[in-house]
Amino acid sequence: MTATLFLRLIATAAALLPGLAGPASANDFGICRDQSGDAAIAACSRAIASGTLSEATRAYAFYNRGVEYRAKGNLDGALADFNQAIRLRPDVPEYFTARGVVHEGRGDITRARADFTQALSLPNKGDNFAWAKKTAREHLDRLGR
């Protein structure tokens, strides 16, 4: 194989790699969003690691993986992911409500109240803002505000 042919093959492969990564990442995010359990956790992890998601979509992937971790009883994993979602998108009430639920489950009532209060103070944004605000109100009422 000549050096020119070899360089052309490398250039062609390099040009194709971004296109190959895109659809796999989109599929992983779809699984992350639509599935549950270990399949969702794995797909969310791949989507987050792909580096191809927008900041908002990455935040949502962290949130979804956190929901799945919480469902499996992994409160540390859920808390870490909700923290990342909030770092990326501090304007989405459902991320604060979800983190507040984890804080409450860990017995950290002060942080839970703070997150529920923050969720209620934010504008109606995100896919589940109605759930986030209703749940935050219910938890604050139960905790005695």
The residues spanned by each domain of the chain are 7-77, 91-145
Q: Which residue, 30, 9, 84, is CA-closest to 92?
A: 84
pLDDT in tens, the chain (145 residues): 444 333 333 333 333 333 333 344 569 999 999 999 999 999 999 999 999 999 999 999 999 999 999 999 999 999 999 999 999 999 999 999 999 999 999 999 999 999 999 999 999 876 788 999 999 999 999 998 6
pTM: 0.80
